[in-house]
Structure 1
Amino acid sequence: MTQRSDVPADPPAGDRDARVRDEAAGAVPSPNADEIRRIGLSNALREVTAPLHRQAEKAGAISDIVRGRSSRAAYALLLRNLHAVYEAIERCLDRHRATPAVRHIVRDEVFRAGAIALDLENLCGGAAAAAAVPLLPEGRAYAEAVTASAEGDGVGLIGHAYTRYLGDLSGGQTVSQVLARTLGLDADKRNIYRFAAIGDLDAYKDGYRAAIDRAAFETDRPDAILAEAMRAFRLNIALFWAVQAAADGAAARAGTPAPVD
């Protein structure tokens, strides 16, 4: 591919944390509980996370994928770390199936851990090779944060589910197409973005947002859900930069030239 001067260069490693902090500082102030219920929790989540969402789309490994600069090894590393996150989310959601508020968003048809495990095996050439892909500190920290959010009434899980599942159902569909085009990944390596049990994705997303809205009426802490969703985006941003750095480092050690736009 030819070099494009209009694509911003990735920031130096030392600037990445600063960018995350700057984005967090610019986040929209959270409304109070009554306002959240009035406008709808899903709308409130979209509004308060919008700056972080934009930052996540430009961060590290995700930016590389969208710009056609990723590699199969980098994508496998991203999947390995997301697998730990989804395992934590789904284990905790399963525990809270009957819990007020959380019960509305426990949907087996969107669970992704099994699909990611299958993608990893197919991408790496078997279970043994998939198991050798490392869990980064940022992936571990993300999974631990999910587990911590499930303590007590577990409403923070709604913020994590919103961030990951609606992302997979929305922008994830575009990511899947890019992966097919730029890395030549067959459908059996993109199961994370395939929802066989869901027919109309747009209608399903509307229903999932409505379920999130209902959840706000079963907790006196809807603001905690907003806070956890913002935390989830920050954790994603940190993970995306870490995956990029680790993959680039591994490629450099192997003598593989970094892709260019």
Structure 2
Amino acid sequence: MADPGMHRLSARLRRDTWIAHGAAHSSRFLDALATGLLPWEAYADLAAQHWFLYESLELAARTMIDDPVARTFVFPELDRLPALEADLRFLYGPRWSSRIAALPATTTYCTRVRYAANSHPIGFVAHHYTRYLGDLSGGRQLGRAIARAYGFAGDGLRFFVFADLDPEAFETYYRQLLDTVPWSPDEQDEFITEVLEACRLTIAMHDDLRQRWT
């Protein structure tokens, strides 16, 4: 007898994006960072690219806050911009904003976020899910690896710290929320397609970083 839960959106999402998520969070660039094979400036560059992404995504959250579906997924305790800006001040100095630049793949990713996440709740939730739940799982592991590899202790790694959340409990709650969204099968397909696109864009950004630093 088939598991009745296998048709839930969260189950479909896990099944249909498993390979893409694995590729996005195990790139050659991230592996090199995690093992300390790159200069610490490569990590600073990753933090800079994250700042451009999260600026786009968190501005979209403000735009979508009145949407009955999208606002369900807006959690202030997830916001990464304040932590990223603290990291960038530590890594680049007080004039960090004049010292960072978006790579071409990052610019493409931000354009997609602005287009998809500002125009429809499906796009917003797809990019929100891909970024934040990735941060809560593989991202925290990467943060610990970078701390070991480069000797950071707090400063420079605030992006990876979710002080006001129990990550495992929150991930479970988030997936339960996904299962309550009143989307049709076609809308669920659109959502999963956009998650896959977000993973592809993440991989492209990591490839740009790898080409710069290796």
With the length of structure 1 as denominator, give the TM-score of the two structures.
Answer: 0.75
Match of 2:66 among 80, 98, 103: 98
CA distance in structure 2 between the partners assigned to 1:40 and 1:66 by the alignment: 34
Please say if 1:201 is aligned against 2:128.
no
CA contact (8 A) 1:81 1:140 kept: no
Cα RMSD (Å) of the superposition?
1.8
Match of 1:183 among 144, 150, 155: 150
CA distance in structure 1 between the partners assigned to 2:149 and 2:140 by the alignment: 14
1:86 aligned residue: 54
Structure with the greater alpha carbon radius of gyration: 1
Cα drift, residue 191 of structure 1: 0.8
Deviations 1:32-65 (A, max 9, x none): xxxxx97222222221111112222332321212
1:237 aligned residue: 203
Cα drift, residue 116 of structure 1: 0.9
Q: SS of 1:97's equivalent?
A: coil
1:71 aligned residue: 39
Residue 189 of structure 2 aligns to which amino acid in structure 1? D
Which residues of structure 1 form unaligned runs of 5+? 1-36, 249-261
1:123 aligned residue: 91
1:13 aligned residue: none
- In proportion to residue count, which structure has more helix? 2
Cα drift, residue 189 of structure 1: 1.0
With the length of structure 2 as denominator, give the TM-score of the two structures.
Answer: 0.90
Please say if 1:47 is aligned against 2:52.
no
CA contact (8 A) 1:61 1:78 kept: no
Cα drift, residue 151 of structure 1: 4.3
2:127 aligned residue: 160
CA contact (8 A) 2:6 2:12 kept: no
Match of 2:107 among 98, 117, 140: 140
Q: SS of 2:95's equivalent?
A: helix
Cα drift, residue 110 of structure 1: 0.6
Cα drift, residue 218 of structure 1: 4.9
Residue 74 of structure 1 aligns to which amino acid in structure 2? A
CA distance in structure 1 between the partners assigned to 2:14 and 2:155 by the alignment: 31
Match of 2:139 among 172, 186, 192: 172
Deviations 1:57-90 (A, max 9, x none): 3323212123332321101111111111111111
What is the number of equivalent residue pairs in this alignment? 209
Q: SS of 1:175's equivalent?
A: helix
Q: SS of 1:127's equivalent?
A: coil
CA contact (8 A) 2:34 2:149 kept: no
CA distance in structure 2 between the partners assigned to 1:192 and 1:130 by the alignment: 17
Residue 193 of structure 1 aligns to which amino acid in structure 2? F
Residue 64 of structure 1 aligns to which amino acid in structure 2? A
Cα drift, residue 236 of structure 1: 0.4
Q: Could you tell which deviates more after superposition, 39-48 or 103-112?
A: 39-48
CA contact (8 A) 1:72 1:123 kept: no
CA contact (8 A) 1:138 1:239 kept: yes
Deviations 1:237-256 (A, max 9, x none): 000010111123xxxxxxxx
Which residues of structure 2 form unaligned runs of 5+? none
Change (3 A) 1:38 1:101: farther
